[in-house]
Amino acid sequence: MTSTVSATQRVKPIIGPAWLVLSLVCACQFMVILDASIVNVALPSIRRDLGFTPTGLAWVVNGYLLTFAGFMLLGGRAADLFGQRRMLTAGLFLFSASSLAGGLATEPEVLVAARLAQGIGAAMLAPATLAVINTSFDEGHARARAFGAWSAAGGVGGLAGAVAGGAITTGLSWRWIFLINVPIGAVLIAVAMVSLARTGTGGRKSLDLTGAVTGTAGLAALIYGVMQSADHGWTSAMVVGPAIAGLLLLVVFTVVEARFATQPMVPLRLFRIRGVAVGNGMLLLFGAIAIAMWYFTSLFLQNVLGYSAFQTGLGQTPAAVTFMVIARRAAALLPRTGVRPLVLAGSACFLAGFGWLAQAHPDSGYATSVLGPTLLIAVGIGLTFPTLMVVATADVPEGDAGTIGGLANTASQVGGSIGLAVFATAASARAATAAGESSPAAALAAGYDLIFLMAAGLGLAIAVLSVLLSRRYNLRRFW
């Protein structure tokens, strides 16, 4: 692949061994994904101890997701302007400090504020980790393996969140799901300081404040509106108002970036790179597929088959392990096969797995109706996720590595948020229709089955989008 930067610009921002740098970014990714899910099992204990209302309790989860997705573009651009080490360590510090505040919280408002701050810290961390990979590992086998390890670390974080949350809450206290981040964060800050070099633009550092405000506020408002749809319905002012405001702010953001910003937060020239445009489009769809797999399969196991939260975590463990193994394997295959074969193979797994899963009902057995299809879907996720990340971040100038990392993460998170809202609405409508004809469990199953069929369709859409990639992305000489 022809690099987009000159040889004089190509200075690796690392001073430590590559294995230590890779371990650092994988640990950061693990922690970010872990804290998106680990609180779920602890919510009843948190509500009892702090006196949350049911509506307020949801913001222990939603507050983190809202700021995480809303601030990632800003976090990515800041990594390019002020340096990857500086933003990664600042993100770790904010994440750890807010975890400490959350663990010590005695009032609901304090815990929600801590979760909002945690999400901002995660939004600083996630794009910085991708930027470190993109600028520290050579294009080809080394970078593909790094993306595979980074993807697998996220899988470990998701699995640990489902299983460890219950164990920590039962054995210690819900407070320790936050407090445990403090010593881990301190160690990672120390590793970052000794393994990463100082980087930055090298000249006058100027953040596009207008773009930062409109882009961040637009994303946050849009995601907030979408989050309200499950409780208030799509036509509610609680949904329509924030969603329209968010879309208008994003239109203003686009105009500002295209016409007025001298140093735009997201340079629109990046979308002239076909891999960036198509890769982020596929990541948007992938985010919804991941939600259908992990979130709604969990609900199916609990609400239809009657599993406990701990049993559900164990039930999803085989798929999580499969994903981690396949993600690493896909990284090794990618330089040999190119992009499209892996994306098409992953899409075939989505079609087969979700199609199979959509046949499940209350009398289904776990081994025949859940384990098999979720293993297939996990193979598809393992094949596509690191591949799409490589596509979405390839051919990008090193000075934009953080920005493109923020963009790729944002696409996946926004896709997941919108997918969650659309799927939940469709499932509720389908379950309500089936309620008069079947048992409550069967009605719920009908709703989840519709979600799984919709996810299969998104898998097909990813396959179609892969055709838009230029031929060079699908040949070995791409590497």
Q: Encode pLDDT of 155-173 as tens digits.
A: 777 767 766 776 777 778 8
- Do 103 and 179 contact (CB within 8 A), yes or no? yes
Q: Is residue 7 part of a domain?
A: no
Q: Is residue 319 part of a domain?
A: yes
> Do 177 and 315 belong together in one domain?
no
- Do 85 and 192 contact (CB within 8 A), yes or no? yes
Amino acid symbol at 198: R
> Do 259 and 275 belong together in one domain?
no
> Do 326 and 361 belong together in one domain?
yes
- Do 134 and 143 contact (CB within 8 A), yes or no? yes
pLDDT at 141 over 80: no
Distance CA 433, CA 422 (A): 17
> Do 221 and 103 belong together in one domain?
no
Lowest mean pLDDT among 162-171, 195-204, 453-462: 195-204
Domain boundary among 151, 167, 197: 197
pLDDT at 198 over 90: no
The pLDDT value recorded for residue 182 is: 92
> Do 281 and 335 belong together in one domain?
yes
| Residue 61 DSSP code | H
Lowest mean pLDDT among 135-149, 176-190, 364-378: 135-149
Residue with structure tokens 């890779």? 22
HSE value, Cβ hemisphere, 13 Å, CA-based, for 16: 17
The pLDDT value recorded for residue 477 is: 44
- Do 383 and 349 contact (CB within 8 A), yes or no? yes
SS3 21: helix
Q: Is residue 4 part of a domain?
A: no
Amino acid symbol at 134: N
- Enumerate residues 6+ apart whose C-beta is below 8 A from 118: 35, 64, 67, 94, 95, 98, 99, 102
From the list 352, 337, 353, the residue with the least C-alpha distance to 297 is 353
> Do 322 and 471 belong together in one domain?
yes
Q: What is the CATH number of the domain that holds 147?
A: 1.20.1250.20
Q: Is residue 328 part of a domain?
A: yes
From the list 234, 138, 192, 266, the residue with the least C-alpha distance to 21 is 192
> Do 464 and 479 belong together in one domain?
yes
| pLDDT winner (highest mean) among 153-162, 225-234, 299-308 | 299-308
Mean pLDDT, residues 32-57: 77
- Do 105 and 52 contact (CB within 8 A), yes or no? no
Where b means 16+ CB within 10 Å and e means fewer, 39-48 reads bbbbbeebbe
Where b means 16+ CB within 10 Å and e means fewer, 90-108 reads bbbebbbbbbbbbbebeeb
- Do 110 and 46 contact (CB within 8 A), yes or no? no
Distance CA 133, CA 166 (A): 33
Mean pLDDT, residues 52-77: 78
Give 196's strand partners: 14
pLDDT above 70: percentage of residues in the chain: 89
The pLDDT value recorded for residue 9 is: 39
Domain boundary among 197, 217, 242: 197
Distance CA 158, CA 278 (A): 26
Task: State the residue range of the domain holding 436.
Answer: 270-479
Q: Is residue 103 part of a domain?
A: yes
The gap between the terminal CA atoms of the chain, to the nearest Å, is 5
> Do 141 and 213 belong together in one domain?
no
- The distance from CA 50 to its chain's CA centroid, rounded to whole angstroms, is 29
Q: Is residue 58 part of a domain?
A: yes
> Do 34 and 150 belong together in one domain?
yes
Give 14's strand partners: 196
> Do 149 and 212 belong together in one domain?
no
Q: Is residue 5 part of a domain?
A: no
> Do 36 and 93 belong together in one domain?
yes
- Do 210 and 261 contact (CB within 8 A), yes or no? yes
Q: Is residue 154 part of a domain?
A: yes
From the list 188, 183, 192, 186, the residue with the least C-alpha distance to 132 is 192
> Do 239 and 346 belong together in one domain?
no
Number of domains in the chain: 3
Q: What are phi and psi of 15, to 5 degrees?
A: -125, -10
